[in-house]
């Protein structure tokens, strides 16, 4: 931290001195100077005729047939702007040169000459002193079949992770920029769409286990024009910017000519991979072994299983099948999408309209996802000084989810993994005839997934309106006043019915749950107003100034209501209110939070060599406590968030002009403070909740409030380097960063007199340090053009301070440790060294475990050999023997993109990878623990059975008395993977039949190939946005492999 600060301060001082020195050099130069040069195509090296060359506000010229031009400039430190259709407009900094060779970059490739959209203004990438990634859509050709835009971002931005939540259609990804930095608050970045906050968190908790409502699904990937990811301290976003900021701008019309684009594709979702489970006969043998160890309570089932194996038994045909239950719940399915985009207008109004429809039948039976989205963006010029930009978007989706894979008696995927394969989905009679009637739950207490699929409903309907009007007044040539007012309205409804037939009844202390009816509505409304004043001016060619000040107001209203009812008279009665009153539950919450932010951002450059960015904001939120530490004004508490970045573009220096091969060399550094306001709407205020005690209603204090509660403070320091060489055939961006989260929210034990267990305070500290590397290389440039890109990132986290020093969190049978000196989210459990093959080995180790009744039980042959980490203390394997057994943070991760073009053919590929991250394979633990009657993987065929058997799978014992399956390194795996996320082959037809402007056909595939040693269905997953759940694979359904064929027509 100190080291980085020192580097930063030296850098700022050095560049300031340099600026002053060179300023002195240039005084007194004559204004009437001519510069000559030649414009070339960067790839072919051939001269380009009729390129437009201007010296802004001074002179202009065209290149001649040989690409040559001569132009008058004010100084040899002036800047030329060279533009030509199909190429990136290039700024040529003369830096003392009177003769220049200009190599224009093809517009289709990314370039440092490209513009980065910062919302209210754009800046050429070469000039930005900030740590920022900008992506122009499409990243790689079509990227078809992406239902949600965030999932493709990770492929283009270094330092950004976007693990998919699961394979449910449209369920989306969680987003993390520069890893994780907070224990109890969200790690999700702030998303701004067309200048307005796009909330991605206020959706409540889905009642469908294993499912998450995806906020991003409302944005059609094809509607996005550019995405800018701010990874450094974006101070103007105040207490919302700690996790980075993603700015999304949607498509607008740029020209008056009307264009109509129609695209469609149809695809096939391949059946997902399944776990290699025991088949019917194998499972029956396994079950008999388990039943024998389960004791006499199960002797009836044991007898039934044995007797029914004899032909002629009334249940013979019911109990002697070989059903692959996983195949009963998974399927191949179809997906299709259609989009129509119309752009055009006249000199007064420009508009862009797009309409899209998508239908994706998921890979789980009875699931489907349909989405309709509409976007209308317009730019109306009322006068030369007054314009209006409107952005109106509406999306609606309707999802039926067959099953998610979450552990539950009513989840079809989970039950299919457990269910005995010797059973059959339908009832069979004594002669073997198959009835159309499905079987009920079975003798082992496992539901019939097929019966559930026949009669259940897991439906999520969501719509979002997101619209804004931005009024823009041009006060004078340099000064603009703008006001954006917008509304976001989102409603999410869930309707759930789970039948009694086919589902194992669940016993509760107050009654038995047979069928289940649930409904939930979550509503979020946000009103935004953003008033800005912008001043943009270039003083001569030397000084550039871009100032922005504004006041942003964000008012939010959030409500969730839910009800659940159980055990109605029969499965035909499936609405709330018809269940047993004693089991009925209802609940919900109301949430309101508002924020008011005054902000300022200033960018200054001198001679386009030295760049300085200053940002600051005063951010007040209704969430902050009245006694919080901050600027107190307007009856509230405001946080002050400053940031500063500086850049030095060395290639603008005269002394580097002799290095022809060097196109760009830039050093940059930044320092800033941001905050995280995800501290709960009312954690800092006292509130009351109702309570029912023996039928008496009352009101009790609902929380132990902390009026001093404030945002988490996030201090970001970064230094970076941007290089481009060989006419930008090779370019590289490197960033070294450090994020320090202080005032981190933490639950600490409360006074025992308070009546509460713990209280939320600003206490902990977490440090994140990392490196991002982005590399672009044009391997071949003619006639086959092959561009590759590599984004690699690495980071590490360390808990620096925690008031409790150490904290253990139990999640899905795992223990996650938070301890000073350790990374965030490490797994804490037992180490193992195989299985005792012989009793002699077990006796030699002489280890025991303590049973719940406190007696000691010896580990014998066939048991797991746990490492006794405190042999001097005892020979008992207990919680004192636990150590850190895994770190879910990857060593490095990133993506690789490839684009090959040859005539009309384009082949794009996007690969993502992650190396060195440990995964807790929860699902494999369920399928290899051999402690109940659930079906298991075929690995359990190797289970220990006799004295001397060498194996790493312990003996099967019902109930697992000695705890062979406790949370240990047996369940921790290396989650490294390399995935071909998308590959697309497209062909632009040379013919234009029926008057179409362009015609392109493409074939694409998603998630076609995954190379991994990980023994789960999908190494890429996300159990949620919080730090402690990372790396926990719940075994939700894997991402689908989809093959698509499509066409794009331009009219």
Contact positions vs other proteins (CB under 8 A): 273, 276, 280-282, 284-285, 288-289, 292, 305-306, 309, 780, 783-784, 839, 860-861, 900, 902, 905, 907, 909, 937-939, 941-942, 945-951, 980, 983, 1008-1015
- Residue whose CB is less far from other proteins, 916 or 1024: 916
Give least dist CB 976 to other proteins, A.
11
- Residue whose CB is less far from other proteins, 434 or 784: 784
Q: Could you tell me the CA-to-CA distances from 162 to 189, 734, 927 in Å, in that order?
A: 11, 20, 28
What is the rounded distance in angstroms from the CA atom of residue 744 to the CA atom of residue 6? Answer: 25
Task: Give burial (CB, 10 Å; 0-12/13-18/19+) of 555.
Answer: middle
Give least dist CB 774 to other proteins, A.
23
Give least dist CB 281 to other proteins, A.
4
127-161: b or e for each residue (b if 16 or more CB lie within 10 Å)?
Answer: bbbbbbbbbbbbbbbbbbbbbbbbbbbbbbbbbbb
Q: Could you tell me the CA-to-CA distances from 153 to 136, 157, 439, 464 in Å, in that order?
A: 11, 6, 45, 22
315: left (phi over 0), alpha (psi -120 to 50) or beta: alpha
183-198: b or e for each residue (b if 16 or more CB lie within 10 Å)?
Answer: bbbbbbbbbbbbbbbb
What is the rounded distance in angstroms from the CA atom of residue 509 to the CA atom of residue 514? Answer: 14
Give least dist CB 278 to other proteins, A.
10
Beta carbons within 10 angstroms of residue 812's beta carbon: 17
Q: Could you tell me the CA-to-CA distances from 793 to 45, 178, 228, 796, 899 in Å, in that order?
A: 34, 8, 18, 10, 21
Q: What angle do CA 746, 812, 802 make, to 5 degrees?
A: 20
579-599: b or e for each residue (b if 16 or more CB lie within 10 Å)?
Answer: bbeebbeeeeeeeebbbbbbb
With residues binned 3-state (H G I as helix, E B as strand, rest as coil), the percentages for the chain, rounded to 5, are: 15, 50, 40
Closest CA to 153 of 170, 169, 174: 174
Q: Which position has the token pair 């921790």?
A: 972
- Residue whose CB is less far from other proteins, 452 or 910: 910
Secondary structure (3-state) at 585: strand
Q: Transcribe 490-534 into DSSP letters.
A: EEEEEEEEE-STTS--EEETTEEE-SEEEEEEEEEEEEEEEEEEE
- Residue whose CB is less far from other proteins, 367 or 923: 923
Give least dist CB 367 to other proteins, A.
24
- Residue whose CB is less far from other proteins, 688 or 902: 902
- Residue whose CB is less far from other proteins, 74 or 419: 419
Give least dist CB 784 to other proteins, A.
5
- Residue whose CB is less far from other proteins, 144 or 768: 144
Closest CA to 745 of 684, 686, 702: 684
- Residue whose CB is less far from other proteins, 52 or 952: 952
Size of the chain, expressed as the number of residues it contains = 1051
**Spatial contact of 98 and 75, defined as CB atoms under 8 Å apart:** no
- Residue whose CB is less far from other proteins, 447 or 1010: 1010
Give least dist CB 292 to other proteins, A.
5
Give least dist CB 877 to other proteins, A.
20
- Residue whose CB is less far from other proteins, 314 or 871: 314
Give least dist CB 198 to other proteins, A.
36
Q: Which position has the token pair 């001519």?
A: 34
Closest CA to 141 of 1044, 780, 1051, 913: 1044
- Residue whose CB is less far from other proteins, 869 or 950: 950
What is the rounded distance in angstroms from the CA atom of residue 836 to the CA atom of residue 847? Answer: 11
Give least dist CB 307 to other proteins, A.
10
What is the rounded distance in angstroms from the CA atom of residue 376 to the CA atom of residue 881? Answer: 61
Give least dist CB 904 to other proteins, A.
13
**Spatial contact of 797 and 766, defined as CB atoms under 8 Å apart:** yes
- Residue whose CB is less far from other proteins, 945 or 992: 945
What is the rounded distance in angstroms from the CA atom of residue 998 to the CA atom of residue 988? Answer: 7
- Residue whose CB is less far from other proteins, 500 or 1010: 1010
Give least dist CB 422 to other proteins, A.
8
Beta carbons within 10 angstroms of residue 534's beta carbon: 20
Give least dist CB 1035 to other proteins, A.
14
- Output the six-digit token pair for 1041: 């492999």
Backbone angles phi, psi at 925, to 5 degrees: -60, -40
Give least dist CB 276 to other proteins, A.
5
Give least dist CB 990 to other proteins, A.
17
- Output the six-digit token pair for 107: 């517009």
Strands 79-83 and 688-693: unpaired
- Residue whose CB is less far from other proteins, 289 or 1000: 289
Give least dist CB 306 to other proteins, A.
6
Give least dist CB 902 to other proteins, A.
6
What is the rounded distance in angstroms from the CA atom of residue 1004 to the CA atom of residue 908? Answer: 9
- Residue whose CB is less far from other proteins, 157 or 907: 907
- Residue whose CB is less far from other proteins, 831 or 924: 924
Give least dist CB 285 to other proteins, A.
5
Taking each helix axis as running N to C, give the angle between helix 280-294 and helix 299-307, from 0 to 180 degrees, rounded to the nearest 10. Answer: 150
- Residue whose CB is less far from other proteins, 570 or 950: 950
Q: Which residues 6+ apart lie within 8 Å of 137 measured at CB?
A: 221, 222, 224, 225, 226, 227
- Residue whose CB is less far from other proteins, 796 or 838: 838
Q: What angle do CA 634, 710, 593 make, to 5 degrees?
A: 65
């Amino acid at each position: 931290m100190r080291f980085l600060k020192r580097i930063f301060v030296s850098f700022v001082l050095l560049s300031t001195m340099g600026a002053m020195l060179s300023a002195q050099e240039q005084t007194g130069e004559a204004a009437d100077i001519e510069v000559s040069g030649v414009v070339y195509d960067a790839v072919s090296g051939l001269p380009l005729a009729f390129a437009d060359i201007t010296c802004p506000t001074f002179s202009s010229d065209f290149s001649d047939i040989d690409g040559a031009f001569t132009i008058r400039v004010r100084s040899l430190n002036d800047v030329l702007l060279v533009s030509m259709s199909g190429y990136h407009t290039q700024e040529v900094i003369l830096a003392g040169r009177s003769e220049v060779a200009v190599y224009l970059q093809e517009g289709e490739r990314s370039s440092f000459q490209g513009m980065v959209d910062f919302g209210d203004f754009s800046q050429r990438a070469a000039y930005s002193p900030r740590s920022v990634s900008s992506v122009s859509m499409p990243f790689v050709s079509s990227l078809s079949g992406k239902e949600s835009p965030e999932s493709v971002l990770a492929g283009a931005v270094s330092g950004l992770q976007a693990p998919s939540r699961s394979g449910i259609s449209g369920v989306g990804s969680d987003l993390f920029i520069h890893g994780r930095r907070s224990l109890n608050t969200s790690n999700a970045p702030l998303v701004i769409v067309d200048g307005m906050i796009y909330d991605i968190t206020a959706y409540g908790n889905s009642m469908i286990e294993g499912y998450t409502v995806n906020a991003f699904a409302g944005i059609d990937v094809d509607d996005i024009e550019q995405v800018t990811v701010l990874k450094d301290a974006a101070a103007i976003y105040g207490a919302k910017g700690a996790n980075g900021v993603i700015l999304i701008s949607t498509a607008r019309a740029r020209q008056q000519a009307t264009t109509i684009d129609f695209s469609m594709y149809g695809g096939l979702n391949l059946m997902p991979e399944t776990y290699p489970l025991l088949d019917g006969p194998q499972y029956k043998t396994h079950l008999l072994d388990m039943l024998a160890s389960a004791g006499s309570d199960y002797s009836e089932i044991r007898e039934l299983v044995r007797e029914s194996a004899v032909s002629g038994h009334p249940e013979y045909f019911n109990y002697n099948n070989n059903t692959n239950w996983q195949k009963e719940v998974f399927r191949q399915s179809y997906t299709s999408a259609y989009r129509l985009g119309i752009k055009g207008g006249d000199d007064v109004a420009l508009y862009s309209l797009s309409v899209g429809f998508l239908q994706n039948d998921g890979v789980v039976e009875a699931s489907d996802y349909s989405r309709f989205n509409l976007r209308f963006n317009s730019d109306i010029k009322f006068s030369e000084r007054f314009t209006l930009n409107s952005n109106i978007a509406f999306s609606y989706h309707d999802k039926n989810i067959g099953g998610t894979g979450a552990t539950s008696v009513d989840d079809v995927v989970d039950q299919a993994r457990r269910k005995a394969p010797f059973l059959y989905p339908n009832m069979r009679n004594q002669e073997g005839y198959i009835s159309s009637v499905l079987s009920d739950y079975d003798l082992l207490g496992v539901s019939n997934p097929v019966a559930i699929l026949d009669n259940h409903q897991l439906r999520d309907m969501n719509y979002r309106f997101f619209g804004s009007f931005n009024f823009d007044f041009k006060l004078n040539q340099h000064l603009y006043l703008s006001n954006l007012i917008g509304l976001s309205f989102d409603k999410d409804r869930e309707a759930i019915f789970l039948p009694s037939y086919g589902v194992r009844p669940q016993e509760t202390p107050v009654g038995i749950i047979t069928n289940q009816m649930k409904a939930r509505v979550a509503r979020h409304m946000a009103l935004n107003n953003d008033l800005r004043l912008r001043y943009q001016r270039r003083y001569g060619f030397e000084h550039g100034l871009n100032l922005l000040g504004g006041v942003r107001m964000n008012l939010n209203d959030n409500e969730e209501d839910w009800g659940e009812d159980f055990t109605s008279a029969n499965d035909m009665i499936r609405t709330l209110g018809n269940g047993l009153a004693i089991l009925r539950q209802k609940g919900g919450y109301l949430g309101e939070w508002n924020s008011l932010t005054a902000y300022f951002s200033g960018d200054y450059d001198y001679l386009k060599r030295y760049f300085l960015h200053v940002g600051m904001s005063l951010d007040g939120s209704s969430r902050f406590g009245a006694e919080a530490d901050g600027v107190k004004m307007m009856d509230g508490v405001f946080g002050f968030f400053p940031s500063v970045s500086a850049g030095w573009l060395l290639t603008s220096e005269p002394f580097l002009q002799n290095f022809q091969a060097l196109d760009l060399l830039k050093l940059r550094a930044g320092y800033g403070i941001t905050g995280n306001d995800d501290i709960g709407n009312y954690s800092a205020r006292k509130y009351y909740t109702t309570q029912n005690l023996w039928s008496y209603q009352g009101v009790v204090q609902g929380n132990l409030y902390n009026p001093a509660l404030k945002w988490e403070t996030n201090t970001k320091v970064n230094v970076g380097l941007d290089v481009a060489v060989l006419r930008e055939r090779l370019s590289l961006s490197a960033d070294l960063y450090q994020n320090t989260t202080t005032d981190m929210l933490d639950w600490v034990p409360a006074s025992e007199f308070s009546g509460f267990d713990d209280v939320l305070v600003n206490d902990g500290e977490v440090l994140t340090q990392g490196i991002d590397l982005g590399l672009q290389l044009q391997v071949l440039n003619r006639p086959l053009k092959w561009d590759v890109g590599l984004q690699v990132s690495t980071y590490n986290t360390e808990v620096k301070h925690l008031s409790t020093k150490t904290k253990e969190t139990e999640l899905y049978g795992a223990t996650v440790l938070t301890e000073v000196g350790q990374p965030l989210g490490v797994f804490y459990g037992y180490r193992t060294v195989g299985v005792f093959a012989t009793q002699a080995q077990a006796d030699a180790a002489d280890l025991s475990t303590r049973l719940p009744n406190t007696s000691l039980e010896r580990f014998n042959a066939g048991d797991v050999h746990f490492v006794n980490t405190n042999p001097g203390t005892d020979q008992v394997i207990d919680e004192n023997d636990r150590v850190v057994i895994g770190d879910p943070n990857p060593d490095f991760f990133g993506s690789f993109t490839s684009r090959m073009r040859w005539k009309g053919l384009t082949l794009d590929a996007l690969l993502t990878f992650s190396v060195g991250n440990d995964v807790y394979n929860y699902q494999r633990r369920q399928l290899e623990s051999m402690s109940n009657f659930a079906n298991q993987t075929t690995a359990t065929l190797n289970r220990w059975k006799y004295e001397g058997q060498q194996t790493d799978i312990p003996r099967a014992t019902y109930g697992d008395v000695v705890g062979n399956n406790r949370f240990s390194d047996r369940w921790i795996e290396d989650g490294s993977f390399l995935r071909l996320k998308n590959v697309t082959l497209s062909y632009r037809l040379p013919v234009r039949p029926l008057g179409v402007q362009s015609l392109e056909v493409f074939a694409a595939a998603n998630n076609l190939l995954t190379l991994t040693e990980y023994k789960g269905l999908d190494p890429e997953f996300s159990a949620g946005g919080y730090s402690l759940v990372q790396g926990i694979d719940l075994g939700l359904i894997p991402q689908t492999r989809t093959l698509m064929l499509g066409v794009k027509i331009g009219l």
